Homo-oligomer: A and B are copies of this chain.
Amino acid sequence: MGFDFKIMHEDSATKARCGLLTLDRGVIETPIFMPVGTQGTVKALSPLDLEECSAQIILGNAYHLYLRPGLDIIKEAGGLHQFMHWEKPILTDSGGYQIFSLAVLRKILDEGVEFQSHLDGSRHFLKPEDVVEIQNVLGSDIMMPLDECVPYPTSYDQAELAVRRTTSWARRSKAEALKSDKGVLFGIAQGSTYEDLRKRSIEELKEIGFKGYAMGGLSVGEPQDLRYNILRSSIEYFPLVSPRYLMGVGLPEDILEAVSAGVDMFDCVVPTRYGRNGTAFTSEGKVTVRNGGFSRAFKPLDENCDCYCCRNFTRAYLRHLFNTGEILGLRLVSYHNIYFFIHLMSEARRAIKENRFRAFKDDFLKKCASTC
């Protein structure tokens, strides 16, 4: 599997940087937002919609796809790309987070994780090696190793144990990945909100050596300030020259803060989840489509947006769709939100290249402050 990452430009005033991540299935400009397609579909959107929104890479989730439809079916289909009809790169989450948040009766052993499916209670035991193998079958372009994701708050001892296991699993994952040399494997740092544990986790990952490095276990309930602090302090330990991925984050303001700290890759269910609930992200902040005040608002969600939704439909029409429970409503707002997130990153890249990222971020935060 081919892999290359080049930093093309560093912002003069922040740690933000623009890069080019080259994979066999496509070249990705970073910083990038990756829409989440948990179950082999980005909710409410078609692959064509994603292309129209200029999505360069999307996420799949190993845990969900392993349970449904099951690996044998995806294997027979020719892999996840073919199954869901998406030709560009796919990053798959290892399922660690889902095993810890969704599965029942889970038991974490040094060897791996035992859990019962949240769907039918069936028992499963997955070792880090299995998780790599699952992602090999999916045909992931970027694979994430099994990690132990602890909730917030977590005691120091618990967090330390999780780091130790995460490192050991990362080492075994790399050994397994080397056997087949299919997808590119990233490392995931844990350590909860303890700076020294974050540092240790990252140092151990670097010693093993990965193509890219992810920050896991953030956005799990900790206060925003604490999240920013731990991110800023620990990102320093990541190699400068590798892609840095902040998992599961987040709101546009969180993403821009993280870009400013030097993060390159993001994923989050926020644009589609909010979209299904009728909340749109716009250049002037969040907009609640159901809002009664919009019943006569004959203007688009975002006058600065040229997506299919904003070019053709008014807030009044979208409100009507949500009001009457019409599927087109949640589809159009999901579409707009994905477009907005991807477009925001493209604007961010331009701002970085022009050494005005700080002003760009501050301007965005000011505009959306009233609705954050």
Contact = CB atoms under 8 A, between A and B. Distances in A.
Interface of A: 39-41, 43-48, 64, 68-69, 73, 76-77, 83-85, 295-296, 298, 308, 312-314, 316-317, 319-321, 323-324, 326-328, 330-332
A290 B84 CA distance: 17
A73 B39 CA distance: 39
B68 A324 contact: yes
Given A46-B332, A327-B327, A73 B316 contact: yes
Given A69-B295, A77-B298, 9 more contacts: A39-B326, A40-B317, A46-B332, A68-B323, A69-B316, A69-B323, A73-B320, A77-B317, A85-B313
Copies of this chain assembled into the complex: 2
Contacts of A319: 69
B41 A321 contact: yes
Nearest to A52: B48
A48 B308 contact: yes
Contacts of A321: 40-41
Contacts of A85: 312-313, 317
A76 B298 CA distance: 8
B328 A45 contact: yes
Contacts of A76: 296, 298
A324 B39 contact: yes
B328 A41 contact: yes
A319 B324 CA distance: 27
A31 to B, nearest CB: 27
A73 B330 CA distance: 21
The 10 closest A-B pairs by CB, nearest first: A44-B327, A69-B320, A85-B312, A41-B328, A39-B324, A41-B326, A83-B317, A68-B324, A77-B298, A85-B313
Given A321-B41, A323-B68, A312 B73 contact: no
24 contacts: A39-B324, A41-B326, A43-B327, A43-B328, A44-B327, A44-B328, A44-B331, A46-B308, A46-B331, A46-B332, A47-B312, A48-B308, A68-B323, A69-B323, A73-B295, A73-B316, A73-B320, A77-B314, A77-B317, A83-B320, A85-B312, A85-B313, A85-B317, A327-B331
Contact of A330 (B295, B296, B327, B330): B327
Nearest to A39: B324
A313 B46 CA distance: 11
